[in-house]
């Protein structure tokens, strides 16, 4: 019996080593696949450019996954992904020309929002913190008034939100071809371009403008600790929005 046990030990060591190697290979393979968002389809990743203007150039400071830095902001951050792209005016954290290109849009560029404008006196002060990790990008800036933007480079789902501290008023202007077409329920406001639906998703926020038929502008008061999110595609349909 002693001989039999000793004979098994090399085999057990070999089996244990093989299992460890197999687990490592699975982890490596999974880390190279595109990230998946719940009901969001395939996700990719952003590259962000700290830029003096709204054109990507060789002089821009580029941030790629996996990055977390605190930097001196220039005039704009140009956020570019496989599916989503938008610009941020860094003095105000105003979001410009939020555009999605995915199977949801039929593979065509769809500018969902012309702008998302936080309304406050003066300009933001201090450095900018940027984090680019997998499909996520996060921008933060400000001292007395601080603002945070979080976005995901995904085909659909909850893919954008803007957070103020303390609270303030936001104005949203839809892109060409989009219109607001009614609330899906508790505080949210649907929009569509007759191809796919989405909605403004408020949290600790109140819509100040009445629903105005085919309107393209909405204004919101976001309280401290609140945020304004955006949801498009299947999740919007499940919450009552229609194309």
Q: What confidence category does residue 210 fall into, taking pLDDT thresholds of 50, 70 and 90?
A: confident
Is pLDDT above 70 for 1?
no
Is pLDDT above 90 for 97?
yes
* CATH number, domain containing residue 132: 2.70.98
At 121-140, the pLDDT tens digits run 999 999 999 999 999 999 99
Query: What confidence score (pLDDT) does residue 28 get?
Result: 38
135 and 87 part of one domain: yes
Is pLDDT above 50 for 8?
no
Query: What confidence score (pLDDT) does residue 242 get?
Result: 92
77/27: higher pLDDT: 77
Whole-angstrom Cα distance, residue 87 to residue 67?
19
Q: Choose among 154, 146, 147, 126: nearest CA to 228.
A: 147
132 and 205 part of one domain: yes
26 and 41 part of one domain: no
Query: What confidence score (pLDDT) does residue 182 get?
Result: 82
77 and 1 part of one domain: no
In a domain, 142, yes or no: yes
Is pLDDT above 60 for 162?
yes
Query: What confidence score (pLDDT) does residue 212 get?
Result: 59
Count up the domains in the chain and report the number: 2
Is pLDDT above 60 for 164?
yes
Write the secondary structure of the chain as one string of H (helix), E (strand) and C (coil).
CHHHHHHHHHHHHHHHHHHHHHHHHHHHHHHHCCCEECCCEEECCCEEEEECCCCCCCCCEEECCCEEEEECCCCEEEEECCCEEEEEECCCCEEEEEEECCHHHCCCCEEEEEEEEEECCCCCCCCEEEEEECCEEEEEEECCCEEEEEEECECCEEEEEEEEECCEEEEEEECCCCEEEECCCCCCEEEECCCCEEEEEEEEEEECCCCCCCCCEEEEEEEEEEEEEEEECHHHHHCCCCC
Is pLDDT above 70 for 219?
yes
Is pLDDT above 60 for 150?
yes
In a domain, 77, yes or no: yes
In a domain, 243, yes or no: no
What is the mean pLDDT of the segment spanning 213-224? Answer: 90
At 9-68, the pLDDT tens digits run 444 444 445 444 444 443 433 333 333 344 556 999 999 999 999 999 999 999 999 999
44 and 22 part of one domain: no
188 and 105 part of one domain: yes
Q: For 37, list phi and psi in degrees, rounded to 5.
A: -100, 145
Q: Measured at the alpha carbon of residue 208, what is the angle toward residues 206 and 211, in degrees to the nearest 5?
A: 105
Query: What confidence score (pLDDT) does residue 42 get?
Result: 93
45 and 14 part of one domain: no
200 and 150 part of one domain: yes
Q: What confidence category does residue 187 fall into, taking pLDDT thresholds of 50, 70 and 90?
A: confident
Q: For 73, list phi and psi in degrees, rounded to 5.
A: -75, 145
229 and 161 part of one domain: yes
In a domain, 207, yes or no: yes
What is the mean pLDDT of the segment spanning 163-168? Answer: 98
In a domain, 166, yes or no: yes
Query: What confidence score (pLDDT) does residue 14 get?
Result: 45
Query: Whole domain around residue 27: which residue ranges?
Result: 1-33
Q: What confidence category does residue 237 fall into, taking pLDDT thresholds of 50, 70 and 90?
A: very high
In a domain, 123, yes or no: yes
23 and 94 part of one domain: no
103 and 172 part of one domain: yes
């Amino acid at each position: 019996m002693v001989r039999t046990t000793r004979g098994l030990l090399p085999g057990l060591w070999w089996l244990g080593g093989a299992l460890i190697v197999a687990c490592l290979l699975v982890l490596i393979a999974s880390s190279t696949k595109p990230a998946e968002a719940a009901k969001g389809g395939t996700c990719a990743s952003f590259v962000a450019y700290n830029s003096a203007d709204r054109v990507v150039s060789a002089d821009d400071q580029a941030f790629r996954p996996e990055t977390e830095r605190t930097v001196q902001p220039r005039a704009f951050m140009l956020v570019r992904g496989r599916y989503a792209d938008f610009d941020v005016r860094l003095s105000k954290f105003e979001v410009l020309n939020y555009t999605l290109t995915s199977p949801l849009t039929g593979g065509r560029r769809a500018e969902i929002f012309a702008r998302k404008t936080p309304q406050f006196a003066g300009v933001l002060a201090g450095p900018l913190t940027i984090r680019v990790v997998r499909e996520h990008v996060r921008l933060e800036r400000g001292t007395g008034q601080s603002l945070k933007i979080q976005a995901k480079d995904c085909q659909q789902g909850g893919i954008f939100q803007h957070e103020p501290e303390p609270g303030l008023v936001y104005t949203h202007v839809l892109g060409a071809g989009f219109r607001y077409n009614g609330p899906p329920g508790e505080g949210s406001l649907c929009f569509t371009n007759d191809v796919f639906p989405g909605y403004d998703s408020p949290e600790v926020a109140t819509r100040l403008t009445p629903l105005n038929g085919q309107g393209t502008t909405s204004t919101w008061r976001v309280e401290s600790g609140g945020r304004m999110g955006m949801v498009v595609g299947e999740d919007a349909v499940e919450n009552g929005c229609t194309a």
